[in-house]
A and B are shown apart, each in its own frame.
Chain A
């Protein structure tokens, strides 16, 4: 088995090999066990300082990264764009270099612009973890989704996964497609025509516009949030119409005659993508995803920080 990631940064799933993904998921298995110990903390990264730079709002991802860092004994500094010099016009490279000058070893960054992490990795001397860049990639989310599917259904080879909702604005969708394809799963995207990008078939995914058909096909449905904050024009007439066409409710699920596992990267718009009785049902693994997020992020930070240089 491979012992070492092929990459220095985690910029996206696209840059990872299948072996890298397996290495991360297998390492996350061990961290999940650590999180169930009486003392949920290991000293591996005690000499490392990690800066969490969030240029865009986040609750789950930021808390999850911070917990992962602390459970590895790393020191952390947090930085939110809303309360910083970015408001005064400082450039991204200057901001990051100033933080690195204070002897920070790794950067976890979320940024509204696609490619911000790739850009940064070329200009600063530090390990960078992408925590979401615009509508581009959100690699740790895709890894924790894959980890959660594997935990529930075993190896992903040949599994059928439907990604449903706002594909166009979703970084989760793109990272998930790359990740699931690399692990050998079959992927379908489903949503209103206006929210499914043209030519997405070129990524090797099936496209379906009928929610019922997508659910009948799949083993796992990953429901995406409608990202109203990224929509500057109207892509569908009203939320009510969207939820009637593409919302999943208990009645629909029960009529399928098989059990489809329901996932959601959060935050949930209850009553829009999924109804409350679905989100809180036994078919949903939404809270398992959140739990697994910490273990997967610990694995990513551990493997990047521990990577020996040639």
Chain B
């Protein structure tokens, strides 16, 4: 079966804008909040959210970092895992941390991300933003507070998010494997 487009470019933009407005409702001017994108693909969404927030809030200092979860994963030795860059140039101690990833599936990456984040300090509060929530497929008790689009999938299906920044169009595809 051919891939099904579940989020075309114009909806993609609207969705990210909505997520940003929802974040502003809770985090006000972001003076006590920081954004952390999970490597590798959550970073695209985190940077996009940062840019959109800065445009809406008319400021240019929304803190945004990149966090790699490789060393905290529970599937070490099941696959070959190669780490990506981690860059957090701010203090997370006592801040409201907004973790960002593209797709929430089993919840295992988020679990690893929570552990990895704690090596940088003790945040006041942690929330999760995802672009796509694959409902009913969780292995761990983890839920996102802000969701771009909720979809029902089965394990053999794959959700693929494409980004302009990675040299494509803003697309979300649902791929059914034969």
Residues of A within 8 A of B (CB): 1, 3-4, 23, 26-27, 29-31, 33-34, 37-39, 41-44, 302, 305-308
Contacts and interface: CB of A to CB of B under 8 A. Distances in A.
Given A23-B82, A30-B86, A37 B120 contact: yes
Say what secondary structure dominates the interface of chain A.
loop
A44 B75 CA distance: 10
Interface string B46-62: 00000000000000000
A44 B85 CA distance: 17
B83 interface: yes
B68 A30 contact: yes
Contacts of B68: 30
A27 B121 contact: no
10 contacts: A3-B80, A30-B70, A30-B84, A31-B83, A37-B119, A39-B120, A44-B76, A306-B81, A307-B80, A308-B80
Contact of B115 (A23, A37, A43, A306): A43
Contacts of B70: 30
Say what secondary structure dominates the interface of chain B.
loop
Interface of B: 68, 70-72, 76-87, 115, 118-121
Nearest to B68: A30
B71 A43 contact: yes
A23 B83 CA distance: 10
Contacts of B79: 308
Contacts, number: 51
Contact of B83 (A27, A307, A308): A27
Contacts of A1: 82
Nearest to B84: A30
B118 to A, nearest CB: 8
A73 to B, nearest CB: 9
Contacts of A38: 119-121
Contacts of A3: 80-82
A42 B72 contact: yes
Contact of B71 (A4, A34, A308): A34
A205 to B, nearest CB: 32
B119 A308 contact: no
A33 to B, nearest CB: 5
Contacts of A33: 85-87
Contacts of B71: 34, 42-44, 302
A308 B85 contact: no
Contact of A39 (B76, B81, B119): B119
Ranked nearest first, the 10 interchain pairs of A and B with the lowest CB-CB distance are: A42-B71, A30-B83, A39-B119, A3-B80, A4-B80, A44-B71, A3-B82, A37-B119, A33-B86, A306-B76
A226 B121 CA distance: 46
A30 B85 contact: yes
Contacts of B120: 37-39
Nearest to B112: A43
Nearest to A42: B71
Contacts of A26: 82
Interface centre among A26, A39, A44 (most CB of B within 10 A): A44
B80 A305 contact: no
Nearest to A40: B119
Contact of B77 (A27, A29, A30, A308): A308
Given A30-B85, A34-B71, A308-B79, 18 more contacts: A3-B81, A23-B82, A27-B83, A30-B84, A30-B86, A34-B86, A39-B120, A41-B119, A42-B72, A43-B115, A44-B76, A302-B71, A305-B77, A306-B81, A307-B80, A308-B77, A308-B78, A308-B80
